[in-house]
Structure 1
């Protein structure tokens, strides 16, 4: 559950279990986000607009916000997009449903070592996970994707993550890898066709929960 920090014009939420320590918050707004201070978040140390703009750059969605000044909150972009991070997770941005919760940003584990599936918890760094951030295009470019359509992230027990709904997958440079309405994504770290599942989780003995 996210901890909240309420200020005059904005309330900031922080979910430690989803944080991948990208440090966007501290590097961009250190007067608001200071891990050496307690409490480490000061929602009145910058304007609500500055804080909201910074939070929208948090790739994992660990930081969220609610405006208390009558301004609308964060809206999902028109296209659901997943960016493959070299030697790291897959960063999703869009109209997402994960574990029954609606969100606009999430980073999904690809290394198979996370303690908070399906989310990345930065375990890939200690595990020495290696995977390209520029996969070969699949040639799949499904027509008729509905802008704004929700993408549901589904965990299959001891298996891959299924992305069901319109989703565009790109490499780190923005080059399109895949576009369609259904994709099975590797989360065991062993696929020879990353970021897609190729069944390697079976021989790898992956043990992860499903969504039931």
Structure 2
């Protein structure tokens, strides 16, 4: 099943949003409302602030639903075809969020129960409450059911 991807550019960078992987943590729009505003369409307005502030906020996305690439690097020499900037992890960083998902903060290979494999880039949010409709991934249902853990 293909993942929906939306792109927003300010000329310098392009922010990539994958709504199917978003866990609706609200970090993006509560910390940088002039760019990320879910009450508007489009909900991402790249002209709201400077490029570095947008990059800083995108890097805080706990699910990896938001990422970015620099436009001059897309398709250029040395391009990986992925075009998403990420920071290399020397040590695997896994975070158990209070009342929320397990966050795996590096590229990883997910092997599903039927044997199919999937490569996930950046941060991956895994369901911990058991109620996600997108298992093994978190879809934010923990908020609706009042998961404690």
Q: TM-score, normalised by structure 2?
A: 0.78
CA contact (8 A) 1:8 1:44 kept: no
CA contact (8 A) 2:131 2:142 kept: yes
RMSD: 2.0
**Residue 95 of structure 1, CA deviation:** 2.9
Does residue 10 in structure 1 map to residue 32 in structure 2? Answer: no
CA contact (8 A) 1:80 1:94 kept: yes
Aligned length: 131
Pick the structure with greater CA Rg: 1
Higher relative helix content: 2
Matched with 1:101 is: 119
1 CA distance for matches of 2:143 and 2:32?
25
CA contact (8 A) 1:88 1:124 kept: yes
Matched with 2:95 is: 83
**Residue 14 of structure 1, CA deviation:** 1.1
CA contact (8 A) 2:96 2:103 kept: yes
- Seen in structure 2, the aligned counterparts of structure 1 residues 3 and 77 have a Cα distance that, compared at 3 Å, is same
Of 69, 89, 93, which residue of structure 2 is paired with 1:66?
69
Does residue 125 in structure 1 map to residue 143 in structure 2? Answer: yes
Q: TM-score, normalised by structure 1?
A: 0.56
**How do residues 1-212 of structure 1 correspond to structure 2 at under 5 angstroms?**
1-70=4-73, 73-98=85-110, 100-131=118-149
2 CA distance for matches of 1:103 and 1:110?
20
1 CA distance for matches of 2:31 and 2:146?
28
Residue 108 of structure 2 aligns to a residue whose secondary structure is strand
2 CA distance for matches of 1:7 and 1:97?
32
> Structure 2: which 5+ residue stretches go unaligned?
75-83, 111-116
2 CA distance for matches of 1:70 and 1:94?
22
Higher relative strand content: 1
